[in-house]
Amino acid sequence: MAENGMVPITADIQNLIELGALFVINSSGGKDSQCMTIHLSPIIPKHQLVIVHSHLPEVEWDGVKEHILDTNLRIATYFVQAGKTFFEMVERRGKFPSPSTRQCTSDLKRGPIQKFINNYCKEHGFNTVVNCLGLRADESNARAKKIPFRFRDDLSVAHRKQYEWLPIHHFNINEVWNTITLAGQVPHWAYSKGMTRLSCCFCIMASDHDIKTAASLMPDLFQRYCNTETKLGFAMMMPVKGKQRFLTDIVKK
């Protein structure tokens, strides 16, 4: 049983540290990534630890890169980017991503980060990698069902083994905020303006509250999303009781 507010160092993790595995912190710049970074910094030797962020031009909050650099605790930090933007992806497909078909995550985040992992391991001689994600069980039922540590056979090759680790999977929201405060850090500025999570400014998984808050903070970008909805002829957010929910309707509620 993992102790509250602490990252459990299991025998598997300790063994991978001693084997010299590369630990990759996936950072969105959000509170959970920041919390995870704070906890892993004293646990993993610095030469075995990197931070990588997949930059999302046009749809990412201002200052995310700067915030990651300001809170990286002197861990080597890298920024990657897909060969297409969110709006280019949406227009090519003729539709927005959905919870069941999340190309925004697979194509714009996981893909570029996995490419970075492959190249970094090859260039620096790592044959074992642990991909670290700041997903927490109390965020959703789907995330609660995730396995905190597993071998990724689908991402492993003959010359390299890859694992996936969710170090703060058992943390509650108060433990996340307490970690950041006790470290003497502050979260990204969007939280102080009312956002509850830091993904894209407008996310298909966002609450109505976050959509309204983001619309007030980023009105030009909000209008671009609305224009894209009109152009495509359907809403970005999931329907409720079979009825489409356009962004303008959500904000007007």
Question: 18-35 pLDDT, tens per residue?
Answer: 999 999 999 999 999 999
Q: Taking 60 as the threshold, does the pLDDT of residue 4 lie above it?
A: no
How does residue 1 score in pLDDT terms, banded at 50, 70 and 90? very low
Mean pLDDT score of the chain, rounded to an integer?
94
168, 36 contact by CB (below 8 A): yes
Q: Taking 60 as the threshold, does the pLDDT of residue 38 lie above it?
A: yes
Map out the domains of the chain as residue ranges: 11-173, 201-252
Q: How much is the pLDDT for 5?
A: 66
Q: Does domain 11-173 have CATH number 3.40.50.620?
A: yes
Q: What is the mean pLDDT of residues 51-61?
A: 97
Which is more confidently placed, 186 or 2? 186
Q: What is the pLDDT of residues 121-135, one digit of tens each?
A: 999 999 999 999 999
Instruction: Give the integer Cα–Cα distance in Å for 188 and 167.
Output: 21
Q: Taking 90 as the threshold, does the pLDDT of residue 100 lie above it?
A: no
Q: What would the two tokens of residue 81 be?
A: 């980017």
